Amino acid sequence: MTITMVKAPAVSISGLTVAYKTDAGELPAVSQVDLELAAGTITGLVGESGSGKSTLALSLLGAVQKPGRVTAGSVVVDGIGDMAKLAGEELRTVRGAKIGYVFQAAQNSLNPLKTVGKQLLDLGKAHKVRDLKGLLRHAKDLLDRMGLNADRVLDAYQHELSGGMRQRVGIMFALVLNAHVLVLDEPTTALDMITQANILQIVRDVHKEQGLTTLVVTHDVGVVAEVAHKIAVMYGGRIVEHGPVTQVLAEPRHPYTRGLIHAIPRLTGDISAAKALPGTPPTLGTIPKQGCVFRERCALRMEVCETVEPPAQRMLDGRTVACHAVKEGAA
């Protein structure tokens, strides 16, 4: 932990608020988020659907779509600057070249009318790559390492590839320009278990080989346990717990993290031991305006939760937890 803190963080998000304009006014999907991604680590961002994790990931790319906008805070990426302030041509050249992004629907991220190779050349030209042959060589190299027949894949149309292959092609596209920050939005959703394991192995290998800083956005805690060094848990647009994976999973402190982990059924033992969290996650309109966003579903609810939003407290073991009920040293 302390070693990584010495280095400048690759991505440092501070006080980030992203709001969507709706009929009921501007509602924050991400609010006051502070998150640092240490260089060379894989961070898993988990949360239920609608917790704002994709919005947070998109803000890393400066790609929050209208009617949403960054209303406060900054997303500073090492070597680029504040993504929230970049626009136009500057923003475009950074995307893909410095920050690789594999989209949620990576399966559909290829143009159905063009071969993969053609799209690769388009990408090279858009980023003014002089050495297109070198780019092709690099792409082939990446595809080979991911266990694909590179020549066949480059000559193929999207519909000629399987879901897992497309996902790998998506990762290749995100990395081929030597991006040093990689964001994977739901990289294994809609893939079978074997392919999932395969993709995660690839993510881990490529991450190590290329010295990347990786953010994996998922709702699958298992995926995070598999690949990540650190885990950030999101609820109602806030990061409620953030820390090293092994510690957080072994000993969750925030009541929401606990609920999330207890909701996972075990392969062995009593299935009914898995307890779903009561209640439903808030939507954009029902996130409480003040106090703790999780209090409606919380077992440790106190009076203070109604009015005061819990600040993120740094624990002795290096993690941060945002909960009034968690005191330093408490288990």
Partner 1 sequence: MTERVARVSVRKQFWRGVWRALRRRPSRLIGLFIVLLFIFMAIAGSWFYPERLPYDAENIYAPISWEHPLSTDFEGVDVLALVITGTQGVLLVAGAAGLLTMLIGTAVGLYSGYNRGIGDSILMRIADFVLTIPGFPLLIVLTTTISLGSWWKMSLVLGLIGWGSLARAVRSQTLSLRERGFIEAARGLGLPTRHIVTKELLPNVAPFIATNLLMAVTGYIYAQVGLYFLGVLPIDTSNWGVMLNAAVFQSGALISPDALPYLLAPLGAILLLTLGVVLIVDALEEIFNPRLRES
Rounded Cα distance between 299 and 297, Å, is 7
Under rule CB under 8 A, residue 69 binds partner 1: no
Q: Is 65 exposed, middle or buried (0-12, 13-18, 19+ CB in 10 A)?
A: exposed
Q: Could you tell me the two tokens for 268? A: 């062995």
Binding residues among 23-62 for partner 1 as defined by CB under 8 A: 61
Q: How far is the CB of 146 from partner 1 (least distance, A)?
A: 18
- For partner 1, the closer CB: 91 or 225: 91
Question: Can you tell me which of 9, 96, 164, 281 binds partner 1, judged by CB under 8 A?
Answer: 96
How far is it, in rounded angstroms, from Cα 166 to Cα 251? Answer: 37
C-alpha triplet 277, 68, 186: angle, nearest 5°: 50
CB of 160 to partner 1, least distance (A): 9
Q: Which stretch binds partner 1 (CB under 8 A): 23-31, 94-102, 298-306, 307-315?
A: 94-102
How many chain residues touch partner 1 (CB under 8 A)?
A: 41
What is the nearest approach in angstroms of partner 1 to the Cβ of residue 181?
13
Nearer to partner 1, 127 or 145 (CB): 127
Residue 114 DSSP class: S
What does R_g of the chain's alpha carbons equal in angstroms? 20
Interface stretch with partner 1, choices 38-46, 102-110, 266-274, 323-331 (CB under 8 A): 102-110
Residues 166/106, Cβ–Cβ less than 8 Å: yes
Q: Where are the alpha helices (DSSP H) in 88-178?
A: 88-94, 116-126, 132-145, 150-154, 163-175
Contact 153, 143 (CB under 8 A): yes
Spatial CA neighbour of 47 closest among 189, 164, 218: 218
**Residue placing its CB nearer to partner 1 in the complex, 156 or 202:** 156
Helix axes 132-145, 193-210, angle to 10 degrees: 130
Closer CB to partner 1, 114 or 262, in the complex:
114
Which range, of 3-11, 147-155, 219-227, 249-257, touches partner 1 by CB under 8 A?
147-155
Among 22, 108, 149, 162, binds partner 1 (CB under 8 A): 108
* C-alpha dihedral, 66 to 69 to 74 to 79, nearest 10°: 10
Q: Which of 25, 112, 211, 329 is the binder for partner 1 (CB under 8 A)?
A: 112
Site for partner 1 in 162-201 (CB under 8 A): 170, 173-174
Q: Which of 14, 71, 74, 115 binds partner 1 (CB under 8 A)?
A: 115
Interface characters, 116-135, with partner 1 (x: CB under 8 A):
-xx--xxx--xx----xx--
Residues in the chain: 331
Q: How far is the CB of 111 from partner 1 (least distance, A)?
A: 5
Q: How many CB atoms lie within 10 A of CB 114?
A: 14
Question: Which residues sit at the interface with partner 1, rule CB under 8 A?
Answer: 61, 63, 91-97, 101, 103, 105-115, 117-118, 121-123, 126-127, 132-133, 136, 151, 154-155, 157-159, 170, 173-174
